[in-house]
Chains A and B, each alone.
Chain A
């Protein structure tokens, strides 16, 4: 194409992006069209991908197309295998995009649509996508080694151990909080509960089908599975209308939490082919299908965003979670902006599949941009709701009161209009008995999605759309739960294997049972506390997860920065150093506030002390007094856990800085573990087209 024309096109994209961004940032009117958010996002992604990512690829990483990748050098026809780049993109995206980018933005919408949106865009472009791409590159240059191994090889034993322990802890917290999201969605909802329950036998049937009935016919089995899942949503509606069946699936939070704990243990012990693998297939198709449908629906409907740009809750008094805009919006939205978890995928399966280094930008940077876009859509789905409705669904009963009339009065006192009749009508439309206090993001997202889908594809089906959205979220939350428990089990077996050799064998049944039980007990405890906590539990667990996840991202960026300095690229080290500095600032500030703040809705110790004195003075109602000792213990535990996270983070940072200083002073450091150059022999036209 003509050079001048290209320049004009890119200038136009830049101009459009600037206009869109200033419109969403400066708008103080009643509402704003969601299309502005989409436009701003697409323009920013395009420019960042075309210029920043390309610059990093050529100047900072110095990508070499003639170099053979691990997929070619170690090709074994199974895990190392040169694969079409679009297929790798699909695998990579499916692996990084979980429920995180849907839940985080929904919770952060309590600050208004603007802070979350800006962080999703800027964080992804300068932080998250850079982390994913750089980690992928370094792993490819090191035979597809994992983040933990790279940390050990390049920085030292401390960094490696920290990465391992960090991953394990995040897994525990993540599973607990996701479990809580599902429990809050299923609480007293026979339709949602029966549909989610039905996904288990469906997955098992598909597993059997793929294993024994028609071995290896993955697509055939998946097609049957998707049809069965859609039928289960319909069947849920039928259960909901049947008095006897209804009672079977109508439960309080606690029994549902126990059910999830039992399920999690079973899923970790059962063979993968029976439950985990088929569930993963189904959830991936559901996820991709729903994300595409949501994008189409948003573009077709061009819904108005009713949430203000900023709410008064930026001062830290928000009902969903306490804490000021800084640093908590950056902690709440991890996935979608920057997520340390991605570094595990970028240094796991993906580097073993890539046929040529030049696709690193598309896979590493591009897939993260797409995930960020999913987060923007979640933000839109949450903010198209009337703010009063949004807060009625998401505010825990401990904050606004148990009775609908109290909750509505409280929300009205914040200046957000909502009525009991409006909420009752909405619940009726969605086929639910009540939508109050369904903290966690899934139900409000489902209502938002249902209203967008309902407007686009038929309003009479609102209840179906709502439960489809719940099923869709629940199925891949449960997949994360299964997979996470299993990964945690493997890690624990690996660690215990250092002490008792027999426990390290992954197929030794007593070891499988003991380690699975330990992992499930770990997250089961946090899930249990979250369910009995009248403040919803999400206000405690989600920030803890955010801090842990950002800490892992900081470790990944530490490793990358260390490698850049060791490779003599000090002047480019800011590419990873800058997001690292920002992450360290926000995680340390957030951790400091969670530990030392006097605000009982922020500080763990403050909350524990407040509860203790209330308990001692006998001012708590009987039901709250009964659970108070457990909550007090938990607040203490969370405070120490947070301290542990920050300490680990700072140890890794100091370790990395020491390596950098040694390196710059020409003192001996661990050598670069990059494998030597070998020219590619691959005629890659077939893998790349």
Chain B
């Protein structure tokens, strides 16, 4: 029983984190490493952002359009 709860938790926890944006920085890091490092970072690639700076841009960007409804 405890094991099943544990399994369920392991399945649901990443989803909760993703839903809330808690893991946004980690996902950004992964994306950055996948897309910019492997292909050889060129001059045009933006530098890697710190957690604080990333979060700042991420949050400001989220609120540019219609986000909430009636």
Q: A residues within 8 Å of B by Cβ?
A: 75, 77-79, 81, 83-84, 86-87, 90-91, 95-100, 146, 167, 174, 178, 210-211, 215-219, 222, 271-273, 276-277, 280-281, 334-335, 339, 341-342, 344-345, 348-349, 479-480, 483-484, 486-487, 490, 545, 549
Contact = CB atoms under 8 A, between A and B. Distances in A.
Nearest to B35: A77
A514 B25 CA distance: 35
A78 B61 contact: yes
A272 B63 contact: yes
Given A78-B58, A87-B19, A98-B69, 14 more contacts: A78-B28, A81-B27, A95-B68, A95-B69, A98-B68, A99-B70, A174-B70, A211-B56, A218-B21, A272-B59, A276-B63, A335-B70, A341-B69, A349-B65
Classify the interface of chain A: helix, strand, loop or mixed: helix
B3 interface: no
Contact of A100 (B21, B54, B70): B70
B51 to A, nearest CB: 5
Contacts of A480: 68-70
Nearest to A336: B70
Which among B31, B63, B70 has the highest number of chain A CB atoms within 10 Å?
A: B70
B4 to A, nearest CB: 17
10 contacts: A78-B28, A215-B52, A215-B55, A216-B25, A216-B55, A218-B22, A218-B24, A280-B67, A348-B65, A487-B66
Closest 9 CB pairs of A and B: A77-B31, A100-B70, A216-B55, A483-B68, A215-B52, A219-B22, A272-B63, A218-B22, A341-B69
Interface string B27-70: 11001100100000000000000011011101111111111111
Contact of B70 (A77, A280, A339): A339
A344 B69 contact: yes
Nearest to B65: A348
Given A272-B59, A276-B63, A219 B70 contact: no
B61 A79 contact: yes
Contacts of A277: 59, 62-63
Contacts of A342: 69
B19 A334 contact: no
A330 to B, nearest CB: 16
A276 B16 CA distance: 21
Contacts of B27: 77, 81
Interface of B: 15-22, 24-25, 27-28, 31-32, 35, 51-52, 54-56, 58-70
A82 to B, nearest CB: 11
A4 to B, nearest CB: 32
A490 B69 contact: no
A344 B60 CA distance: 19
Nearest to A288: B19
Nearest to A174: B70
A219 B67 contact: no
Given A77-B31, A219-B16, A277-B62, A98 B70 contact: yes
Nearest to B11: A689
A483 B64 CA distance: 10
B54 A216 contact: yes
Nearest to A222: B20
A219 B20 contact: yes
Contact of B17 (A97, A219, A273, A487): A219
B67 A210 contact: no
Contacts of B35: 77
Nearest to A77: B31
B51 A216 contact: yes
A272 B21 CA distance: 16
A344 B51 CA distance: 31
Given A87-B18, A211-B56, A215-B52, A280 B68 contact: yes
B33 to A, nearest CB: 10
Contacts of A78: 28, 58, 61
B38 to A, nearest CB: 14
Nearest to B64: A490
A654 B3 CA distance: 62
B63 A84 contact: no
Residue of A217, A219, A342, A349 ringed by the most chain B CB atoms within 10 A: A219
Contacts of A545: 70
Q: Which of A210, A215, A486, A549: most chain B CB closer than 10 A?
A: A215
A87 B15 contact: yes
Contacts of A91: 19
A486 B66 CA distance: 9
Given A77-B27, A87-B15, A218 B20 contact: yes
Contacts of B55: 210-211, 215-216
B20 to A, nearest CB: 5
A138 to B, nearest CB: 17
